[in-house]
Structure 1
Amino acid sequence: MPMMNSIGNQDMTSTISKTDMNSAIAALKKEGEERAVMVANTVCIFAPDVPASVAEDVLDGMRLMNLSANKKFDKETQQREWYNFYNDGLGKFGWTLTGAAHVEEAIDKDTHTLATLVPQIVTVQIGASHRLSRCVKRSFEVIVQTPKAQQLLEESSVSVSGKSSTIQISACEMTPQGLPIMHMTSVQLSYDKAEKTAGSAGRIIDKSNTRVYRASQQGSFSVRHFDAMREAVRMKLASQAFDILALDI
């Protein structure tokens, strides 16, 4: 079975501007509201009670590990190494993650698109009544309604060969004790025959050509652990390409 990873094209951030980045960072600071931002093929969702500072820390860690893994490994041939490196890095940034069992998922409707199937899989994992389930569904609705967001998702999720698409969803909230926790789900669509990148998010899935795999993890985040490396992380990110896009959910 294929290993989940953030496979994508090298020029995936070409459409993101400094204005987009600034808008996304401003959106993160809106405490008391549900917030959703994209980092390449990862959709990050924050519950209203997640402090702005925590949301920024979480996003910075995920951005740096995505960039570092992309530079270190060939995403087409070293999927397992990419995935392990990414998760190990999150651990060094203060995340304690559990889970990651990889299972095959059925495509239960003939009319599913990537943008409808992924939220359904995530909702099953976190629960239909979970407060962030609506945000996941709404995020993907916004993606297919927003050309720039759809292009970012498609360019960063479809592999260079066109034979797989990988999407990651990270839903963050606070426990009653004030501890940041995350529900992270990776969904990979594996194609027998290569699929075109353009339009892949909203295109009806060819069930005869597609297998779907899912890996789910849960984790808690230590802000105190991240304190020691926050400035170093932000300095490294300052010289990187623009790679964050806010979703108006």
Structure 2
Amino acid sequence: MNNLTDQLEFIASLEIATNVVRPLLQSPPDEPDAPGPSSDSAVVAGDSLLSFVAGLTRQAREDVLNSTLLMQLAANKRFDKARQREEWFGFYTEGLGKLGWTLSHTELLRFHPSQASFCMNDVIIEIIEGVVGGSAFSPIARRTLESLRKQPHALELFMNHSNAGHVGTFQILPCSQNAAGDVTMLMNCVQLIRNVSNNSFLFINFQNNEVQIFRSAQTAVLNVQAYEQVRGAVVEKLGRNASQFVANLSL
């Protein structure tokens, strides 16, 4: 979708989920003490973990956060992600494309971990490193997961939005920015269906026969010049949700 009018009409048509189970906010990403472009940083945004490699401008970080959060909330409003993963994922990725992201494919595939026994956080790194160019993002993704483990309020926020009984659905989104200003994101969408219902899934040991894992891992690129035409409309549509669903992580 290249027509600006169509883009703005699409954004205006979105309905977003605004119910927050327990809004837990540490420091919003636009506060003065938030990490600057010279530092790696990460945030929880609903059921997404976003990691920013040093070098991303503050504006680029906000653009990534706002665009992905908007489509997350809109997809959550339209579909039950625990039961309609294909429909949820298709709407999420199609919407990102309309906002200025270029994606290579929109398919969720079954994933089989290389080990018979594993923790989900290790599987996430395995998925990332299996993507062409993914090894460049695995260090910051690993640090983000370790930071999440150590920060209970941020972990609770993430689990409140990603976990539903036997099903965990979430996104891991490490990002970098090139000299032209375009942002590259390794978009990892994952769903874990397990035999046992519990309050967490990231840092728990599983056997292969206890879970089913579906994932899509691909490189997505945000054309910042294209996105800046709809930036204001995205921010306006999000409203106060941009802070209600977000918690910074200390890397």
Bucket of the pairwise TM-score, normalised by the shorter protein: 0.7 to 0.9
Structure 2 spans left out of the alignment, 5+ residues: 1-16
Superimposed CA distance per residue, residues 106-161 of structure 1 (whole angstroms, 9 cap, x where no aligned partner): 3334552222221232133255751x3211011111111211122122222223xx
Distance in structure 2 (CA, Å) of the matches to 1:91 and 1:101: 14
Contact 1:104/1:214 (<8 A) preserved: yes
Following superposition, the deviation at residue 21 of structure 1 comes to 4.4
Give the letter aligned to residue 60 of structure 2. Answer: V
Distance in structure 1 (CA, Å) of the matches to 2:52 and 2:209: 36
Superimposed CA distance per residue, residues 18-42 of structure 1 (whole angstroms, 9 cap, x where no aligned partner): xx242x3347661111111111121
TM-score with structure 2 length normalisation?
A: 0.82
Report the secondary structure of 1:14's partner residue: coil
- Aligned with 1:172 (options 170, 175, 183): 175
- Aligned with 2:63 (options 57, 66, 83): 57
Partner of 1:36: 42
Partner of 1:217: 218
The answer to whether structure 1 residue 133 and structure 2 residue 135 are counterparts is: no
Partner of 2:245: 243
Report the secondary structure of 1:205's partner residue: strand
Give the letter aligned to residue 66 of structure 2. Answer: D
Partner of 1:227: 228
- Aligned with 2:160 (options 150, 155, 158): 155
Superimposed CA distance per residue, residues 44-94 of structure 1 (whole angstroms, 9 cap, x where no aligned partner): 111111111111111111111111111222334433222111111111111
State, as a whole percentage, how many aligned pairs show the same letter: 25
TM-score with structure 1 length normalisation?
A: 0.82
Distance in structure 1 (CA, Å) of the matches to 2:110 and 2:40: 30
Give the letter aligned to residue 167 of structure 2. Answer: S
Partner of 2:118: 112
Give the letter aligned to residue 16 of structure 1. Answer: L
Distance in structure 2 (CA, Å) of the matches to 1:140 and 1:12: 23
Contact 1:181/1:219 (<8 A) preserved: yes
Report the more deviating stretch, 132-141 or 237-246. Answer: 237-246
